[in-house]
Amino acid sequence: MEKWFLRNVNADLNKMSESLGVSKLLCKIMVNRDISDYRLMNSFVNPTLDKLHDPRLMKDMELGVGIIRESILKSEKIRISGDYDQDGNSSILTLYKGMKRFNANVDYVIPNRVTDGYGINERIVEEAKRDGVSVLITCDNGISAFEPIKLAKELGMKVIVTDHHDLSYIEDERGCKEYRLPEADAIINPKRYDCKYPFKELCGAGVAFKFIQVLYDEMGIDIEESYSLLEFVAMGTVCDVVDLIDENRIIVKEGLKRINETDNIGLKALIKATGLEGKMINTYSLGFVIGPCINASGRLESADIAVELFLTDDQEKADEYANRLHMLNEERKSMTKEGFEKIIERIQSYKFREQKVLVVYEPSIHESIAGIIAGRVKDKYYRPTIVLTESKDENRVKGSGRSIEEYNMFEEISKTKDLLTAFGGHTMAAGLSLDISNIDVFREKLNGQASLTEEDLLPKVYIDMQLPLDYVSFDLVEELKLLEPFGKGNPKPLFGEKNIRVKRGFILGKNQNVLKLILLTRNGNSIEGLYFGDIDEFQNFLIEKFGKEEVDKMYMGVKNKVYLDIVYSPKINEYMGNRTLQVIIQNYR
């Protein structure tokens, strides 16, 4: 069961359409998505580089860049401390290649996911001191690394934090939050409470990119040179699943242009290894093909492989690294499928399904894929989900959580800090560890304090607007491309229509997994509708609603009483030189 919501925000669409030079329908979609400020709307339909915000508006930006500039001029040793995921990879590449433009004495280090855990740690700090590092700069981590950064300062190093994660805080008995910052020389994070930067949703690579832009400017280099780094920043932005609005939209659109024309032999090798050669790379390619391969190295081996892939000038090495990443991702897929099935079995066996917040312990799961599995379980049950597994300390467990929009996972888990040995994250995701003896107490506490209602736990379908099928046209599909790239915060537009008659149905595909319906519009025209979901479930729904006889008539193309409400997206189907209109059915009732 799910709940449908039709967006309908009032606005002067005529004025907007005239000002922006696009249709009222496109303006309606933007307004319904809370994009009604003219500057944002203009940036949305014309996402050009001149609309990027001034990076100097970010708190401590000039301070941090000044430290790096001085270190480069003095040939001091600089070390980047990154993270093992795609955003961390992109952040490292952005800072490293940006500094190497000035022949900086810079290298990088990435923690091991299993032995080190997330972010900069005391081992990394002590190793940096032994190696004669003068400046440590973090990327995509560091905002909560209080002890390691304190140690680095005590050892005489300068520390710059570049991050985008939520700030840690202490909550007093009145519920007031006191935000905490590490003792670094410069802390660059748009989510700082005292940062006036106008856009707060950059990923780690986005913050690193802003840093390099100011460094270029300070070193007398045209800031436009920094745009060559956008292919890395775009990958981080898509794969870290931040909202594709405002600057992120510009970064991804411009980055995709560069990715599709890339000279980077490592990226070209990975595109070839994943079967994308000769195809247009889009947000799907990044988020579901390329990104997972890069993440797989940090999950199952060393994240250094992925960074070195993009840095190497050796074609043989590039091919070797790319094929290795692809193989690791295939292994990761298999492990994820097996782990997901085990978690579902535990949920059903222990009746966790009845709880509002799912906390499931499965020791056999590799800790690196706990977050992926938590996400899939969350999607299946539409409940905040935390998957716990074994850690290197036999008395502790580690885990990752994924949330639904109605549940602030960071804040809710923060209320259980007394049970945790480590914790970090944001509204929709978190990582944590705790003593194995505290699992049941942790589960009970989260569920006891959860204010989620039954309605909160219904999946939500947000419809951009009601649109009769007669309005679907080639021009409409082409105009909707102005809203690309699609992703989190800017999904592909969904339209709704009621009481649609079904003229005929076909089950297609080698595995009989595609349902094609010939739909009748209000004006009596026909249009194809394709459904790629659970065909058996769809058929059972139709039989229960209309009876088997009417469904059989539908499949035979005989006049029948089957009709549907649908949520759909329009598409142009091109086959053998012919172009036809279709609608892809996302939901039905």
- pLDDT band for position 423 (cuts 50, 70, 90): confident
The model's pLDDT over 322-378, given as tens digits with 9 standing for 90+, comes to: 999 999 999 999 999 999 999 999 998 887 878 999 999 999 999 889 999 999 999
- Nearest Cα neighbor of 256 from 228, 230, 226 is 230
- pLDDT band for position 172 (cuts 50, 70, 90): confident
- Give yes or no for a contact between 557 and 503, defined as CB atoms under 8 angstroms apart: yes
**pLDDT score of 129:** 98
The model's pLDDT over 454-505, given as tens digits with 9 standing for 90+, comes to: 999 999 999 999 999 999 999 999 999 999 999 988 999 999 999 999 999 9
Query: Dihedral of CA 55/61/64/70: which sign?
Result: positive
**pLDDT score of 561:** 96
- Give yes or no for a contact between 435 and 396, defined as CB atoms under 8 angstroms apart: yes
- Nearest Cα neighbor of 52 from 212, 193, 249, 257 is 249
- Nearest Cα neighbor of 55 from 178, 223, 242 is 223
CA–CA separation, 31 and 49 (whole Å): 23
3-state DSSP assignment of residue 246: helix
Give the H/E segment covering residue 124. helix 122-130
CA–CA separation, 53 and 30 (whole Å): 21
Q: Is the pLDDT of residue 153 over 80?
A: yes
- Give yes or no for a contact between 284 and 486, defined as CB atoms under 8 angstroms apart: no
Length of the chain as a residue count: 589
Give the relative orientation of helices 291-300 and 86-100 as an angle to the nearest 10 degrees. Answer: 100
**pLDDT score of 103:** 97
Q: What is the mean pLDDT of residues 9-26?
A: 94
The model's pLDDT over 366-403, given as tens digits with 9 standing for 90+, comes to: 988 999 999 999 999 999 999 999 987 888 999 999 99
**pLDDT score of 301:** 85
If you compute the radius of gyration of the chain from its CA atoms, what whole number of angstroms results? 26
Q: Which two tokens stand for residue 158?
A: 């300068």
The model's pLDDT over 287-334, given as tens digits with 9 standing for 90+, comes to: 999 999 999 998 888 899 999 999 999 999 999 999 999 999 999 999
Q: Is the pLDDT of residue 445 over 80?
A: yes
**Cβ atoms within 10 Å, residue 217:** 15
Q: What are the counts of helices (DSSP H) followed by strands (DSSP E) for the chain?
A: 21, 20
**Cβ atoms within 10 Å, residue 559:** 10
> Which ranges constitute the DSSP H helices of 11-121?
13-20, 24-32, 38-45, 61-73, 86-100
Q: Is the pLDDT of residue 101 over 80?
A: yes
- pLDDT band for position 171 (cuts 50, 70, 90): confident
**pLDDT score of 393:** 80
The model's pLDDT over 104-126, given as tens digits with 9 standing for 90+, comes to: 999 999 998 878 878 999 999 99
This prediction has a pTM of 0.89
CA–CA separation, 298 and 61 (whole Å): 29
Q: Is 526 exposed, middle or buried (0-12, 13-18, 19+ CB in 10 A)?
A: exposed
Q: How many CA atoms lie within 13 A of 138 on its CB side?
A: 33
CA–CA separation, 158 and 74 (whole Å): 14
Q: Which two tokens stand for residue 523?
A: 């004006």
Q: Which two tokens stand for residue 480?
A: 């909707």
The model's pLDDT over 558-584, given as tens digits with 9 standing for 90+, comes to: 999 999 999 999 999 988 888 999 999
**pLDDT score of 31:** 94
- Give yes or no for a contact between 402 and 373, defined as CB atoms under 8 angstroms apart: no
**pLDDT score of 166:** 87
- pLDDT band for position 61 (cuts 50, 70, 90): very high
Please tell me what DSSP assigns to residue 288.
Answer: I
- The mean pLDDT value of the chain amounts to 94
Q: Which two tokens stand for residue 574?
A: 């091109």
Q: Is the pLDDT of residue 511 over 90?
A: no
- Give yes or no for a contact between 208 and 139, defined as CB atoms under 8 angstroms apart: yes
CA–CA separation, 44 and 252 (whole Å): 12
